Structure 1
Amino acid sequence: MSINATLFVQAIVFLILVLFTMKFVWPPVAKALDERAQKIADGLAAADRAKSELSAANQRVEQELSQARNETATRLADADRRAQAIIEEAKVRASEEAGKIVAAARSEAEQQAVQARETLREQVAVLAVKGAEQILRKEVDSGVHADLLTRLKTEL
């Protein structure tokens, strides 16, 4: 064969090979490349979304932490105020109780003073009678004696 015919046959075979490749080989390869490119794009988009969601979640966490700190500070302040109120209430009650105890002690002291005066009057009356008896050296009638004691008690 001649070189022209060989070149011509080789060109036809090459053309058939190119057509076969374009028709049957190239579409699945292109499709696989497109799918891979789409998966990569989807993965990058998902990474961007995750990054923005992470940023938003971090902001929410910071807000919630700030709110929790504020609530804690408020509760501590309320507890402090309540403790001060309880202390003041206890002081008032203690002062009232102290006043009652002092009043009861004064009343008891007054009663004891009255009782001591009565006892002292009786003792003075007995001593006066003994003194009068020794001075007079005579016997006193018990009725008169009781009358004298009563009068002496009232005078003292």
Structure 2
Amino acid sequence: MNFGATFWGPMISFALFVWFTMKFVWPPIQQALADRQKQIADGLAAGERGKEELDKAQAEVEAMLRDAREQASQIINQANKRQAEMIEEARAEARSEADRILASAREEIDQEIQRAREDLRKQVSTIAVQASSQILKREVDAKAHKDLIDELATQI
């Protein structure tokens, strides 16, 4: 056995194997590792972007909710104000209508009183005319005069 051939043969074979591996096997493995590393980095970057977008979206949602609450509060305040105005308008209209009805009723009562007074005057004047005609027809003595006045008083 030759020590040189047994030593140099495997060394040359190993060197050829290393060269072949470095030339043809290692570059695709490195490329696959680089591609995988790039995919992982892209995935992490996308995750970070997604997290940032989520944070932005949450901030926007909170701002929108705050604005919506403010608008709702303003709408409620406006509705309450309008309600109070409508109630006050209705009260004013009711007061006005009540005053108008009351004035109309008072006017009607005054007219009825005037009519009653006129009717009473007519009746009194008619009775007075009748009484005076009866007095003139009869002889005037104290007892007849008193009876006639009593009769007129009962008629009135």
TM-score range, shorter chain: 0.7 to 0.9
* Residues 26-71 of structure 1 deviation map (CA, whole Å, 9 limit, x = unaligned): 0000000010001001101110111111111111100100010000
* Residues 117-151 of structure 1 deviation map (CA, whole Å, 9 limit, x = unaligned): 1111111122223322332337xxxxxxxxxxxxx
Supply the distance in 2 between the matched residues of 1:9 and 1:107 (Cα, whole angstroms). 141
TM-score normalised by the chain length of structure 2: 0.83
Q: Which amino acid aligns with 2:71?
A: E
Partner of residue 9, structure 1: 9
Partner of residue 113, structure 1: 113
Partner of residue 132, structure 1: 132
SS of corresponding position for 1:96: helix
Supply the distance in 2 between the matched residues of 1:8 and 1:103 (Cα, whole angstroms). 136
Supply the distance in 1 between the matched residues of 2:5 and 2:100 (Cα, whole angstroms). 137
Q: Which amino acid aligns with 1:14?
A: F
Supply the distance in 2 between the matched residues of 1:63 and 1:99 (Cα, whole angstroms). 53
Count of aligned pairs:
138
Supply the distance in 2 between the matched residues of 1:92 and 1:112 (Cα, whole angstroms). 30
TM-score normalised by the chain length of structure 1: 0.83
* Residues 60-116 of structure 1 deviation map (CA, whole Å, 9 limit, x = unaligned): 100100010000001100111111111111111111111211111111111111100
Supply the distance in 1 between the matched residues of 2:19 and 2:79 (Cα, whole angstroms). 87
Which shows bigger deviation, 103-112 or 62-71? 103-112
Structure 1, unmatched stretches of 5+, are 139-156
Q: Does 1:74 align with 2:61?
A: no
Partner of residue 64, structure 1: 64
Q: Which amino acid aligns with 1:22?
A: M
Which shows bigger deviation, 23-32 or 89-98? 89-98
Q: Which amino acid aligns with 2:44?
A: L
Q: Which amino acid aligns with 1:66?
A: R
Partner of residue 33, structure 2: 33
Supply the distance in 1 between the matched residues of 2:14 and 2:104 (Cα, whole angstroms). 128
Q: Which amino acid aligns with 1:94?
A: A
* Larger RCO, structure (CA 8 Å, separation 6 or more): 1
